[in-house]
Amino acid sequence: MNQSENLARLLNQFNKEYAFLYDNRDNVAGFSEAVTAFNNMTTEEKAVCNMFCKYRGDLITSDREAAAFIFALDAV
């Protein structure tokens, strides 16, 4: 898979995770831990996040988006 395909896959999973969090009003096991993990990302994870935000055309600005990103990253 190339980078664009990987980012598309990550975006698809992110959207699923975000919808799940939204539907459950963020009352999901691991939500707080995922937000903390986002805030403490490694340099490599930050680089992936930067590429993802550019691909998506939007920044991650909420706790729900942060958690969705971490859950999606773990899933893919």
Q: What is the pTM of this model?
A: 0.95
pLDDT, mean over the chain = 97
On the question of pLDDT at 1 being above 80, the answer is: no
Q: What is the pLDDT of residue 23?
A: 98
Q: What is the pLDDT of residues 15-48, one digit of tens each?
A: 999 999 999 999 999 999 999 999 999 999 999 9
SS3 of the chain: the string is CCHHHHHHHHHHHHHHHHHHHHHCCCCCCCHHHHHHHHHCCCHHHHHHHHHHHHHHCCCCCCHHHHHHHHHHHHHC
Chain centroid to CA 24: 17
Confidence band of 62 (pLDDT split at 50, 70, 90): very high
